[in-house]
């Protein structure tokens, strides 16, 4: 059996090199507003301009590994919901150099975010309806990510990745109104949610908005997984 050659073929050596980056669209929800984690760039090009959070992919890592590294560095969190969005490869998208970006969107619980990292990386949580203009094609990425989030949230319970583990029904409704950019009738929303039979009411109440308070609920992931194996489809819209 002939030995496998360790020499690099000429066509690899002659190929032009380009940069590969990951950009993360990091969504969070504070109970009232759907927000995005962005930061002010410290380096040129576009120093002091607002940007999504990203990095060049290291030769020793996959794009998923690179995105998870970025998320951990900037949020302090692991095991975050992360999904690939789209590849952005316009030739002139980055004036710094020829660079292809793989965008991924992430959903995190704002209360779990390590606030001390804000000062280190100059990050800010900004409501989607108050976003400043972002560098490069990052505005386009955000628009695409929100559309993907809408499509996903129509049939999968990914919204619960943005909520505290214990939440009220009005809080969940407010989140869906933020995602879909429209209001829902409170009675119909509650009725539809409870009919799905995948949330369980707790004995605890949230009394932050009234003396009477609202019951807290939890999403039943085990029950949802069992039902989804049988073809169950989650939909609140």
Over residues 218-233, the pLDDT tens digits come to: 999 999 999 999 999 9
CA dihedral 120, 121, 127, 129 (to 10 degrees): 150
Q: Categorize the per-residue pLDDT at 5 as very low, low, confident or very high, splitting at 50, 70 and 90.
A: low
pLDDT (mean) for 38-64 = 94
61 in the same domain as 127: yes
Q: Categorize the per-residue pLDDT at 2 as very low, low, confident or very high, splitting at 50, 70 and 90.
A: low
* pLDDT the model gives residue 51: 97
What residues are paired with 205 via a beta bridge? Answer: 215
36 in the same domain as 136: yes
Average pLDDT, the chain: 93
86 in the same domain as 23: yes
pLDDT (mean) for 141-148 = 98
30 in the same domain as 136: yes
CATH for 83: 3.90.79.10
145 in the same domain as 41: yes
* pLDDT the model gives residue 4: 65
Q: Of how many residues is the chain composed?
A: 237
Q: Quick one: which of 96, 98, 81 has its CA closest to 51?
A: 96
125 in the same domain as 97: yes
The dihedrals phi and psi of 34, each to the nearest 5 degrees, come to -80, 125
* pLDDT the model gives residue 16: 86
Q: Show the domain range for 188.
A: 163-229
141 in the same domain as 84: yes
Alpha-carbon distance of 182 to 90, in angstroms, equals: 33
170 in the same domain as 107: no
* pLDDT the model gives residue 44: 87
pLDDT (mean) for 50-55 = 97
* pLDDT the model gives residue 115: 86
* pLDDT the model gives residue 8: 67
CATH for 173: 1.10.10.10
Q: Is the pLDDT of residue 10 over 90?
A: no
Q: Is the pLDDT of residue 149 over 80?
A: yes
171 in the same domain as 137: no
25 in the same domain as 50: yes
- Write out pLDDT tens, residues 150-197: 999 999 999 999 999 999 999 999 999 999 999 999 999 999 999 999
Q: Is the pLDDT of residue 128 over 90?
A: yes
* pLDDT the model gives residue 1: 56
Question: Is residue 234 domain-resident?
Answer: no
218 in the same domain as 119: no
Question: Is residue 39 domain-resident?
Answer: yes
Last residue of a domain, one of 132, 155, 178: 155
- Write out pLDDT tens, residues 60-90: 999 999 999 999 999 999 989 999 999 999 9
86 in the same domain as 149: yes
**Number of folded domains in the chain?**
2
Opening angle at CA 132, ends 127 and 133, nearest 5: 135
Alpha-carbon distance of 172 to 189, in angstroms, equals: 10
């Amino acid at each position: 059996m002939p030995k496998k050659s360790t020499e690099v073929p000429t066509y690899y050596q002659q190929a032009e090199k380009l940069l590969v980056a990951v950009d993360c669209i990091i969504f969070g929800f504070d109970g009232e507003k759907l927000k995005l984690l962005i930061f002010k760039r410290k380096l040129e090009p576009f120093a002091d301009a607002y940007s999504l959070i990203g990095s060049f992919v290291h030769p020793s890592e996959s794009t998923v590994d690179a995105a998870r590294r970025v998320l951990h560095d900037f949020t302090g969190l692991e095991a975050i919901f992360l999904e690939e969005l789209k590849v952005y490869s316009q030739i002139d998208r980055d004036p710094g150099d020829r660079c292809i970006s793989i965008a991924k969107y992430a959903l995190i619980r704002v209360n779990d975010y390590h606030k001390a990292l804000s000062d280190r990386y100059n990050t800010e949580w900004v409501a989607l309806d108050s976003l400043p203009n972002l560098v490069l094609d990052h505005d386009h990425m955000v628009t695409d990510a929100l559309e993907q989030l809408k499509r996903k949230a129509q049939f999968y319970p990914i919204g619960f990745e943005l909520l505290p583990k214990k939440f009220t029904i009005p809080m969940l409704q407010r989140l869906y109104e933020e995602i879909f950019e429209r209001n829902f009738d409170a009675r119909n929303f509650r009725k539809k949610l409870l009919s799905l039979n995948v949330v369980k009411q707790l004995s605890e109440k949230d009394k932050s908005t009234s003396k009477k308070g609202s019951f807290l609920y939890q999403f039943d992931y085990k029950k949802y997984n069992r039902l989804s194996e049988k073809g169950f489809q989650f939909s609140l819209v």
